[in-house]
């Protein structure tokens, strides 16, 4: 257990429905990352936050995806109008976010999404 | 971040050392070498990282060549629980996303 928690661990939904995932990073970690991992592939970066500011977004993050970190603590990732191609493991990671340092990211267990 | 190249798969006998190579010939001077592993259906687990010097922790040792173009992760006494996909990543600076390649699938056999 790294201290990063994600909820739910599994989600099955029907195509067209909206889903929301939550990530609780390690306490006092300033940076929070979202990644997506499809079967047989390595994780791919989606977006990251420095405190409450969303600083970078991948081109993988279509306009159906939105992420928030309103108080700089937990984060949510919402997918609207889900498609079967959204089926994947969604991973959250956090690091201390100390300016000028290369920090180690610690990952949560992931949320596995299945879109039927 | 520099691209890394790893063998697709490796086998290791239980109790023996597992040596996992990684090539990163285009690595820049301020890029760290990070190793993560991912056991089936779990989130990636941090193992170790280094810049220039060899590093050791309770999980593994990291040997980086003098020219920094390659490195080797060593699991000194592999167990069945070390069966996983191992990722070598070159990472520059804080706040950069991790770029995972295909990794090496290590199978530890009895």
Q: What is the pLDDT of residues A50-69, one digit of tens each?
A: 999 998 899 888 999 999 99
| A20: enclosing H helix or E strand | strand A19-24
Percent of chain A with pLDDT strictly greater than 70: 97
Question: Residue A43 pLDDT > 90, yes or no?
Answer: yes
Over residues B46-59, the mean pLDDT reads 94
* Residue B110 contacts A where some CB pair is shorter than 8 Å: no
Residues 49-108 of A with CB under 8 A from B: 50, 55-56, 58, 89, 91, 93, 95, 97-108
DSSP-derived secondary structure letter, B5: B
**Residue with more model confidence, B90 or B73:** B73
Identify which of A4, A105, A110 has the shortest CB distance to residue B98.
A105
CA gap A8, A27 in Å, rounded? 19
Whether A50 sits inside 8 A of B95 (CB atoms) is: yes
């Amino acid at each position: 257990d790294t201290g990063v928690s994600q909820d739910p661990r599994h989600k099955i939904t029907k195509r067209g429905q909206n889903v929301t995932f939550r990530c609780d990073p390690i306490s006092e970690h300033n940076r929070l990352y979202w990644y997506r991992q499809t079967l047989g592939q390595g994780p791919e970066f989606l977006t990251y936050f420095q405190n409450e500011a969303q600083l970078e977004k991948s081109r993988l993050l279509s306009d159906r995806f939105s992420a928030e970190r309103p108080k700089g603590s937990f984060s949510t990732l919402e997918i609207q109008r889900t498609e079967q191609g959204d089926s994947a493991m969604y991973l959250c990671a956090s690091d201390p976010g100390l300016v000028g340092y290369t920090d180690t990211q610690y990952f949560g267990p992931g949320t596995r999404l299945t879109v039927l | 971040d520099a691209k890394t190249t790893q063998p697709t798969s490796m086998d290791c006998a239980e109790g023996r050392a597992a040596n996992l190579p990684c090539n990163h010939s285009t690595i820049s001077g301020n890029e760290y070498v990070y190793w993560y592993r991912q056991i089936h259906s779990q989130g990636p687990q941090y193992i170790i990282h280094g810049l220039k010097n060899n590093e050791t922790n309770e999980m593994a040792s990291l040997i980086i060549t003098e020219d920094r173009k390659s490195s080797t992760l060593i699991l000194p006494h592999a167990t069945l629980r070390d069966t996983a996909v191992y990722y070598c990543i070159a990472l520059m600076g804080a706040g950069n996303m991790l770029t995972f390649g295909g990794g090496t699938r290590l199978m530890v056999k009895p």
